[in-house]
Amino acid sequence: MIDFSFTEEQELFRSAIREWCQKNLPLEKIREMDSKGEIPREILKGMGDMGLLVMTAPQEHGGTGADWVTACIAAEELGYADVSIALPVLWLVESSWGFVVDRYCSERVREECIRKAFKGDAFIGIASTESGGGSDVAAFKSTARRDGNGWVLNGEKIYISGTEEAKKLGGGYFVIARTSPAPEGASHRGMTGFYVPMNAEGVEINKRFEDMGRMAISTGGFMMQNVKVPDDYRIGEVDKGFYLTMEGFDNARILIAAVCVGAARRALDIGMEYIKERKAFGRPIGKFEGIQFELADDWAQLEALKSLTYRTAWMNDMKYKQGKFSALEVGRYIAACKLIAPHLAFDIYKHAMIWMGAYGYTKECPLEMGLRGIMSYCVGAEGASNIQRTVIGRELLGKEYIPYK
């Protein structure tokens, strides 16, 4: 027998976070964050007090030890509340990459960064992308060479979320760098993960992008010039960083899907309210099939995505807790979530904006923030759509069908 219900604890958690969001993140606040380009410190502190930050890290390390289904509940509610998706982005980057860092790091990194990130006093993010391209992780040029008991890193990372937050709050990034020459035909090997604090000597923010959306979290780039880090800052085994990077991406992608579910639910709610009120030709426009059928199609597809997302989160929990599924088995479902979610959410925002006519195109309407924010996941943040397709294709057809080999 299959039971699709959430536990009582999960339902209580959803009510608590929903209540917190209603109180702390009204639409006026989201507009203010979007205009000012920052997430207020008290919001982060409040999330820390609620145990929401890096909530996936285990209790024995100071986290909440939330499983991935529970994390998706938080993601969905945050996505619903912050239509600009800036706050959900910051939250999910920390919840997915903070989890990986915490899982494989030394006690020193935990002390210097993760324990602070739980309280909103530090930021932990991912810095993998380089100017040569983000999809081809194995082609990255950043290097780390051994230096006595530590390492020296050189290279440049670009299109990185949260560079200004990391500078302001403290904390740093999971950075992937080449530590050994790649064996023939296996360029993904020979890379290692490191924790690189943003205040380390030799780290310099050299890019600040003005994005089209999710304005309250920064996107930038930084140089690493002879950055010395102790071996304690190494994350996981030497030359195995690629696998940790894939683990982080997988976890992030599930949360992205859940954020998109929440964000799209909000667009439908705002849209439905409008089409019940707005009259044309003597009746509410929600009576016209042209609008009502689009709403029904959107809702049906969103429910399908929601089921896939929570099922995939459950599979991820079974992978970690019971070894019931392998990373590759879960990976294709995760790729499907990341492939579908941003594009569906984007379409739902677009539809709801069009129902609203001219009003939908103004900044008086909150939906334009969602359209701009979700686009970041359509273009490729945490992995481009075609890369999700290659993951699914590889699992369906076999490794010999990997297009880039």
Ligand X SMILES: Cc1cc2nc3c(=O)[nH]c(=O)nc-3n(C[C@H](O)[C@H](O)[C@H](O)COP(=O)(O)OP(=O)(O)OC[C@H]3O[C@@H](n4cnc5c(N)ncnc54)[C@H](O)[C@@H]3O)c2cc1C
CA–CA dist 284, 275 (Å, integer): 6
Rounded to a whole number of angstroms, the minimum distance from the CB of residue 307 to ligand X is 26
- What is the 8-class DSSP label of residue 230? E
Structure tokens, 233? 């800052």
* Residue 134 touching ligand X (CB under 6 A): yes
Query: Can you give the C-alpha Rg of the chain in angstroms?
Result: 21
Nearer to ligand X, 95 or 219 (CB): 219
Q: Is 384 in the site for ligand X (CB under 6 A)?
A: yes
Please tell me whether residue 383 binds ligand X under the rule CB under 6 A. Answer: yes
The β-bridge relationship of strands 279-280 and 283-284 is antiparallel
Among 58, 133, 183, 357, binds ligand X (CB under 6 A): 133
Task: Tell whether residue 126 is a contact of ligand X (CB under 6 A).
Answer: yes
Nearest distance, CB of residue 392 and ligand X, angstroms: 12
Q: Name 150's bridge partners.
A: 147, 230
Which two tokens mark 277?
A: 């009120």
Site residues (CB under 6 A) for ligand X, limited to 65-104: none
**Segment lying near ligand X (by CB under 6 A), choices 59-67, 358-366, 376-384, 393-401:** 376-384
Q: Which is nearer to ligand X, 148 or 185 (CB)?
A: 185
| Interface with ligand X, residue 129, by CB under 6 A | yes
Does the protein bind ligand X through residue 128 (CB under 6 A)? yes
Instruction: Tell which positions 315-344 bind ligand X, by CB under 6 A.
Output: none
Taking the C-alpha atoms of residue 87 and residue 78, their distance in angstroms, rounded to an integer, is 7
Distance CA 267, CA 347 (A): 10
Q: Does 381 bind ligand X (CB under 6 A)?
A: yes
Q: Which tokens hold the place of 293?
A: 């059928």
390 binds ligand X (CB under 6 A): yes
Site for ligand X in 202-231 (CB under 6 A): 211, 219
Residue 376 found at the interface with ligand X (CB under 6 A): yes
**171-178 and 123-127 beta bridge pairing:** parallel
Q: Does 245 bind ligand X (CB under 6 A)?
A: no
3-state secondary structure 101-167: HHHHCCHHHHHHHHHHHCCCCCEEEEECCECCECCCHHHCCCEEEEECCEEEEEEEEEEEECHHHHH
Q: Does 380 bind ligand X (CB under 6 A)?
A: yes
Cβ proximity to ligand X: between 96 and 309 the closer is 96
- Backbone dihedral region for residue 157 (phi beyond 0: left; psi -120 to 50: alpha; all else: beta): beta
| Gap between the Cα atoms of 72 and 95, Å rounded | 10
CA distances from 127 to 89, 159, 199 (A): 15, 8, 15
d(CA 174, CA 186): 22
Q: 181 near 133, Cβ under 8 Å?
A: no
Q: With CB under 6 A, what is the number of residues at the site for ligand X?
A: 26
Which of 275/391 has CB closer to ligand X? 391
* Token pair belonging to 391: 């993951």
Q: Specify the residue, 96 or 179, whose C-beta has the smaller distance to ligand X.
A: 96
Shortest distance (Å) from residue 41 CB to ligand X: 21
Taking contact as CB under 6 A, which single stretch among the options 110-118, 119-127, 252-260, 357-365 is the one that binds ligand X?
119-127
Compare residues 49 and 136 and give the one whose CB is closer to ligand X. Answer: 136
Residue 127 sits in the site that holds ligand X (CB under 6 A): yes
Minimal distance, residue 352 CB to ligand X, in Å: 22
256 is a site residue for ligand X (CB under 6 A): no
Q: Are 292 and 286 in contact (CB under 8 A)?
A: yes
What minimum distance in Å lies between the beta carbon of 375 and ligand X? 8
393 is a contact residue toward ligand X (CB under 6 A): no
Identity of the residue, 106 or 385, whose beta carbon is nearer to ligand X in the bound complex: 385
Amino acid at 85: I
Site residues (vs ligand X, CB under 6 A) = 125-129, 133-135, 159-161, 211, 219, 376, 379-387, 390, 403-404
